[in-house]
């Protein structure tokens, strides 16, 4: 491959954009998370000298862990943390269980039909997830379609209150993230040499044994990639929990939303975002260490 100035020259617009509008902002929230938000003057103060009375002076030292202390000591954030963990694990497992048979089914189709099913899988992805999440309100609401249907069939006598519970969040999330799991799974099932199934069969293995000893081990990279693509973005999710979970269920993403748009405390919001960022980066680094960058 050619060396010289060509590469750096071509990459420079992208590099500039990424450094200015991605890296620099991340660095800024890192700094801000140690800052102190004035009560009257709404700009965040950050100084290098420490102040013993930040409330009065309106400044706080850069070594200060003020915001982090607030996050750790407030049980609200602890609750938000474990609810977020539950949400991420639930969504990832849900997508995996629902998506694996679907990916398997599509990968066994041939030619045109395979393309048709892939198109069917990807089509909803091209519309706004806000709209797709909203659609579930119509279905899950107390007077919504699901309840009307179940009452009509006679399964239940009084409406199920699914909307504004963790179940509603789970349904909405799995719905939004299913293609992100199914696609990498599809790719890795596709890659398996058909002769391997044949060999397994010839050696006397049944279907379950073939799945457990051949298909599953060979699709581990797809499973891991799918879990990463579903799991990591879910950590910061706030739209689905806010729309389908109501105001009672507060997750990490919605507490960041509130810090910025309700209390207007940018320093606290930065600390919350920074914690989230560190967790996500740790998972990404772990993945790269374990699996390398090939599977992306």
Which residues inside 42-71 make contact with another protein, applying CB under 8 A? 43
Q: What is the 3-state secondary structure (H, E, C) of the chain?
A: CCCCCHHHHHHHHHHHHHHHHHHHHHHHHHHHCCCEECCCCCCEECECCCCCCHHHHCCCECCCCHHHHHHHHCHHHHHHHHHHHHHHHHHHHHHHHHHHHHHHHHHCCCHHHHHHHHHHHHHHHHCCHHHHHHHHHHHHCCCCHHHHHHHHHCCCCCCCCCCCCHHHHHHHHHHHHHHHHHHHHHHHHHHCCHHHHHHHHHCCCCHHHHHHHHHHHHCHHHHHHHHHHHHHHHCCCCHHHHHHCCCCCCCHHHHHHHHHHCCCCHHHHHHHHHHHHHHHHHHHHHHHHHHCCCCC
* Of residues 251-280, those binding another protein (CB under 8 A): 253, 256-257, 260-261, 266, 269-270, 273, 276-277, 280
CB of 29 to another protein, least distance (A): 4
CB of 119 to another protein, least distance (A): 5
* Of residues 87-146, those binding another protein (CB under 8 A): 98-99, 101-102, 104-106, 108, 110, 112, 115, 117, 119-124, 126-132, 134-139, 141, 143-145
If the CB atoms of residues 64 and 234 are measured against another protein, the closer one turns out to be 234
- Please select the residue that binds another protein; options are 232, 246, 291, 295, rule is CB under 8 A: 232
If the CB atoms of residues 53 and 143 are measured against another protein, the closer one turns out to be 143
Number of residues that bind another protein (CB under 8 A): 104
* Of residues 1-40, those binding another protein (CB under 8 A): 1-4, 6-11, 13-15, 17-18, 21-26, 28-29, 32
* Binding of another protein by 224 (CB under 8 A): no
* Of residues 176-215, those binding another protein (CB under 8 A): 178, 194, 197-198, 201-211
If the CB atoms of residues 75 and 194 are measured against another protein, the closer one turns out to be 194
If the CB atoms of residues 56 and 112 are measured against another protein, the closer one turns out to be 112
Check: CB of residue 107 under 8 Å from CB of residue 186: yes
If the CB atoms of residues 53 and 218 are measured against another protein, the closer one turns out to be 218
If the CB atoms of residues 21 and 53 are measured against another protein, the closer one turns out to be 21
If the CB atoms of residues 69 and 207 are measured against another protein, the closer one turns out to be 207
The angle at the Cα of 85, spanning 80 to 89, to the nearest 5 degrees, equals 150
If the CB atoms of residues 74 and 193 are measured against another protein, the closer one turns out to be 193
CB of 53 to another protein, least distance (A): 25
Write the CB contacts of 278 (distance below 8 Å, at least 6 apart in sequence).
Answer: none
CB of 212 to another protein, least distance (A): 8
CB of 65 to another protein, least distance (A): 19
Q: CA 225 → CA 114, 149, 169, 280, 288, distances in Å?
A: 22, 38, 23, 14, 11
């Amino acid at each position: 491959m050619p060396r010289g100035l060509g590469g750096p020259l071509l990459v420079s617009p992208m590099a500039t954009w990424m450094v200015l509008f991605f890296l620099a902002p991340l660095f800024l929230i890192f700094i801000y998370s140690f800052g102190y938000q004035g009560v009257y003057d709404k700009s965040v103060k950050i100084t290098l000298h420490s102040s013993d009375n930040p409330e009065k002076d309106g400044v706080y030292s850069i070594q200060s862990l003020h915001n982090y202390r607030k996050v750790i000591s407030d049980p609200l954030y602890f609750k938000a943390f474990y609810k977020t963990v539950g949400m991420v694990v639930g969504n990832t497992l849900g997508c995996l269980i629902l998506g694996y048979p679907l990916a398997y089914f599509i990968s066994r189709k041939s030619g045109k039909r395979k393309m048709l099913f892939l198109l069917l899988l990807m089509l909803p992805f091209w519309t706004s997830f806000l709209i797709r999440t909203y659609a579930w309100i119509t279905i899950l609401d107390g007077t919504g379609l699901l309840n009307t249907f179940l009452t009509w069939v006679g399964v239940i006598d009084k409406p199920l209150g699914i909307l504004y519970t963790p179940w509603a969040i789970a349904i909405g999330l799995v719905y939004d993230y299913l293609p992100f799991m199914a696609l990498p799974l599809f790719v890795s099932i596709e890659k398996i040499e058909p002769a391997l199934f044949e060999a397994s069969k010839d050696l006397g293995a049944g279907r379950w044994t073939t799945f457990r000893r051949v298909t599953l081990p060979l699709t581990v990279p797809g499973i891991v990639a799918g879990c990463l693509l579903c799991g990591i973005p879910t950590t910061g999710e706030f739209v689905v929990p806010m729309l389908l979970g109501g105001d009672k269920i507060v997750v990490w993403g919605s507490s960041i939303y509130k810090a910025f748009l309700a209390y207007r405390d940018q320093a606290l919001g930065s600390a919350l975002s920074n914690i989230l960022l560190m967790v996500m980066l740790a998972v990404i680094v772990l993945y790269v260490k374990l699996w390398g960058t090939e599977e992306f």
